[in-house]
Structures are given as C-alpha cells and as structure tokens.
Amino acid sequence: MPYSNYDNLAASSEALDKHAVARHTTWVSIWVNIVLTTAQIVVGVFARSQALIADGIHSLSDIVSDFVVLAAARGSARAPDADHPYGHSRYENAASLFLGTILLVVGAGMLWRGIERLLHPEEIPEVHTIALVVAVLVLVSKEGLFRYMLRAAQRVRSAMLVANAWHARSDALSSLVVAFGILGNLAGYRILDPLAAALVGLMIGRTGWKFGWNALQDLIDRGVDDATTVTIRERLLATPGVRTIDMLRTRRMGDEIVVDVHILVDARLSVSEGHYIAEQARATVMLEPQILDVLVHVDPESDTKGTALQQWPARSVVAGAAEALCRANALTLHDVKLHYLNNGLEADVIVEGLREPARSGTDGADGTPVGGGMEPSSQSVADALTARFGLRAVRVLRVTGDTSAAPDGTDVATLTTPAAKATAAGPAVD
C-alpha cells in the first residue's frame, strides 16, 4: 500500500532555492561564454589557429547547453500535478542527456576535423602570438567559472548543476591543451595546433558520453549507489515492529530518490497496527534529504518464498459457509477472522452462546485429533470448515460480556491452547 504526500514535494523551499541558484549560475556562465566565444573565434580566424577556433566552437556549444539547463531548471521546479504526481524532476535527467548528446556530436566533429588537418601537415599555417594570449585568458576564466558553479551546485545538491560545472572544468582542460598546441606551433612544431584541436574534440566527446550515459541510466530507473541503499535499509530495519524487509527498490527523479519496499511484520497484527508500523518506517527513511517519496507494502510473511495465497478461498466464501454451518448447528455467528499465511489459511469463528472454546485439527505430532470436551455443535462447525476448505487451523471462540465494549463490538474470550493443525487436503503451499 502506498503512503505518500505529494502536496509539498516540489514546492518546497529547497526546490525553489535550487531553481534560483540554477538560474543565477547559468546566466553567469552564459555571459562568460559569450565573451569567450567571440574572442576565441575572431582571434582564431585572424591568428590562423584551428585549435583556438575549435575551442571557440566548444564555448558556443556551452551557450546552447546553458539555455537547456535554464529550461530544465524551470520545468523541474514545477509542482506535481495529476499527470505528474511525482513532480517534474526528470526534466533534469532529460536535460543532462541532451547536454551529453550535444557534447558528443561537437567532440566528434572537432576530432574529425583535427585528424583531417593532421593528414595534410603541409597545409598547417604558423599561428600568431595573440592566439596564445587568448587561450591562456580562456583557461583562467573557465577554471574560475568551474569553481564558482561547483560550489553553488553542491550547496543545493543538484546533479544537473554539478554536471554543468564539470562541463566548465572540461572546457578549462581543453583550453590548456589548446594553449600547449599553440605554444608548440609557435616553437616550430606546427602539427601540434591541429593535434591539440583533435585532442580537445576527444575530451569533449568523452565528457558528453559520460554525462549522456548516466542520464540515460537514470531515465530507465537505475537504482541508487550501494552506500545510499545500505543507509535506507538500516533505517527501515531500525523501525520498531519491522522484522525484515524484502524487495527494496530505488530510482531517481532528477536529484531525488523514490523508494519502494516490502516490510515484514507480525502476521497477526491488526491492519491498523501494520499501517502504523509502515508509516513509522516511511517517516524514518524520509529523514534523508534526497528522498522524494517512500512506498511501503506490508507483508505478514515473506513474499520471496513462492507463496500461493490466491489459491485459498476469499473471505466471502469462508464467512458464508461458516454462517450456514452455525445456523445449522443452532449457533449465532458473530464474526470470522481469517489469517492468510504461507503455510496455510487459519480461521477464527466467533459465535455467541458457546460455553467453551473449540478447536479442530490435529496436534501436529502423532496425528491425534484434538477438540475433546467441546460442544458437539461447535466441533461440527470447526470440523466441517477444516474439511471443506483444507484450513490449517479453525478456532471457534465465544463472545463474552458486553459486545459494545470492544471497538468492533466484540469482547472475545482468549484462547490459551496452541493452534491446531488441520489434516484435511487443501491447496499445496510451500
């Protein structure tokens, strides 16, 4: 059963702060890249440096990437709606995939062009000194931009902004390669300029592949890392009433995490108490800042044992048969409580006017029938239900005292003897 509250998932102050930081840092990046792109391409043409022109095209792709980040940040900050109950955080994953694709294509083009020039070294011109000055200026600017953006991204825990920051670092590294290529060209090794251009293309393509692949994995619901999974598991197991957990699954929505889990509780707890334990488990996991939502399914026994609970009869069938049997034996049926377990179905038949609790089945050791000393009518009801449905155990209990005293209108006598095990044939359950 799901336990979730989508009212404040995306409209939190943290989400709004993330959007504001993304907008501010991205605009800073845009203006810096506009200045650098203009300088690199213009100077690269006049200084005849293919490496500097390639780096300028790289900076131009950064501007396009920055506008994609702005659009994604705006979209991911929108509140959940009927069509997107988990919010719009995956705009960030889609944007990261798009950014990676852009970088991969740009890098491949630059690599191809650099290789072409390397195949014709006689056509490589001598580079002007001004190209080296611009390359160093770009290197310093991109490194400063990286440090500024990374601090902001880590403060608001945004994977998309972290990716954009490391994109700036890759730009700085590529500018370093360009500077060395231009320096080598000026020293008489003209082949180093197109070689630097090819290396820049290779670096950009590698960065694009890395970002795009990770974003694609998140879009197809890759689980979180092992350390985060261990933390979630420990929080669940520390919840009072949780015996163990099964089927712990995680997936990312942008920078946030959605958790699905099955918890095992005492099989004979009331539904409301099982729900309470599930809520406690959910609240414990939600203390982790990256958790968006937790869906908790309550199991009375492990789901991993290959159970066949659907083979057992529904409540309406058993209750109808119990009522007919009670009526035939001059008893008044008050309630029927069923326990669907891996090793069989058990029933508590609650009647009015019975002097002693009745049980049906065998003692499970030597096959000796139990139930001696019971009223014949109650014994008949228990035996008939056991034989008809192959129940593991049937307990016939009586109502005592004021029936309005209990929340459900019953005050049932407590059975102090162990449950009997029925021997009647029924559906096979491991």
Task: Give the tens place of pLDDT for each residue, 40-56.
Answer: 999 999 998 888 888 88
- The answer to whether the CB of 201 falls within 8 A of the CB of 54 is yes
pLDDT in tens, 365-404: 444 444 444 567 888 889 999 999 988 889 888 876 554 4
Mean pLDDT of 182-192: 87
Highest averaged pLDDT of the listed ranges 153-167, 172-186, 299-313: 172-186
* Distance of alpha carbon 173 from alpha carbon 161, whole angstroms: 19
Question: Tokens for 4?
Answer: 């979730």
Split at pLDDT 50, 70, 90, the class of 263 is very high
Distance linking the first and last C-alpha atoms of the chain: 25
Burial status of residue 423 (CB atoms within 10 A of its CB: 0-12, 13-18, 19 or more): middle
pLDDT in tens, 124-144: 788 888 999 999 999 999 889
In the prediction, which pLDDT does 401 show?
56
pLDDT in tens, 308-337: 677 888 899 999 999 999 999 888 899 999
Other Cβ atoms less than 10 A from the Cβ of 214: the count is: 17
In the prediction, which pLDDT does 195 show?
87
In the prediction, which pLDDT does 359 show?
53
Going by their DSSP bridges, the two strands 256-264 and 291-299 should be labelled as parallel
In the prediction, which pLDDT does 407 show?
41
Identify the CA nearest to 279 among candidates 3, 25, 53, 1.
3
Question: Does the pLDDT at position 157 exceed 80?
Answer: no
Three-class secondary structure of residue 407 per DSSP? coil
In the prediction, which pLDDT does 318 show?
92
Question: Does the pLDDT at position 409 exceed 80?
Answer: no
In the prediction, which pLDDT does 65 show?
76
Identify the CA nearest to 326 among candidates 343, 345, 350, 304.
350
Can you list the domains of the chain with their CATH numbers? Answer: 13-219 (1.20.1510.10), 226-303 (3.30.70.1350), 309-398 (no CATH)
Backbone angles phi, psi at 82, to 5 degrees: -65, -35
Mean per-residue pLDDT of the chain: 79
In the prediction, which pLDDT does 316 show?
92
Question: Does the pLDDT at position 426 exceed 50?
Answer: no
Going by their DSSP bridges, the two strands 344-352 and 393-398 should be labelled as parallel
Burial status of residue 188 (CB atoms within 10 A of its CB: 0-12, 13-18, 19 or more): exposed
Q: Which H/E stretch holds residue 58?
A: helix 50-76
- The answer to whether the CB of 306 falls within 8 A of the CB of 298 is no
- Least confident range from 5-14, 22-31, 209-218, 226-235: namely 5-14
More confident residue, 104 or 160: 104
Split at pLDDT 50, 70, 90, the class of 60 is confident
Burial status of residue 288 (CB atoms within 10 A of its CB: 0-12, 13-18, 19 or more): middle
Question: Does the pLDDT at position 410 exceed 70?
Answer: no
* Distance of alpha carbon 199 from alpha carbon 252, whole angstroms: 34
Split at pLDDT 50, 70, 90, the class of 355 is low
More confident residue, 307 or 430: 307
* Distance of alpha carbon 207 from alpha carbon 216, whole angstroms: 14
Residues facing residue 374 across a β-bridge? none
More confident residue, 343 or 375: 343
Question: Tokens for 421?
Answer: 């095990």
Rg (CA), the chain: 35
* Distance of alpha carbon 304 from alpha carbon 349, whole angstroms: 30
In the prediction, which pLDDT does 15 show?
59
Burial status of residue 50 (CB atoms within 10 A of its CB: 0-12, 13-18, 19 or more): buried
* Distance of alpha carbon 50 from alpha carbon 54, whole angstroms: 6
